[in-house]
Amino acid sequence: MYEMWAEHDPAVSPPAVVWHVVAKDDANSSLCGRFLEPSQRVVPAGDAAAEAPGPDRYCDPCLITVREALAAGAR
């Protein structure tokens, strides 16, 4: 099982929320190897998306890993 994890990416301007993917059995880091700091987590709530400074982005390495896992028949 996978979970989505949103973080503000400080490396981009204007600041954007980046979605990573976290495996349920390893919640300390994302699939792309990023260490996840719970205090950095962004929890979208209600119409928060309308207030976001920029469009959400998705972490490519994370998505590729998920795609490969699904293609391999992981369950």
Per CB under 5 A, 17 contacts Zn ion: no
Amino acid at 58: Y
- The per-residue DSSP string of 5-46 comes to EEEEETTSSS-EEEEEEEETTBTTB-TTSPBP-GGGEE---T
Give the residue, chosen from 7, 17, 20, 22, that forms a contact with Zn ion under the rule CB under 5 A: 20
Q: How far is the CB of 65 from Zn ion (least distance, A)?
A: 8
Task: Give the interface segment with Zn ion, choosing from 6-14, 41-49, 57-65, 67-75 (CB under 5 A).
Answer: 57-65
x/- track of binding to Zn ion for residues 35-54 (CB under 5 A): --------------------
Residue 50 near residue 36 (C-beta atoms within 8 A): no
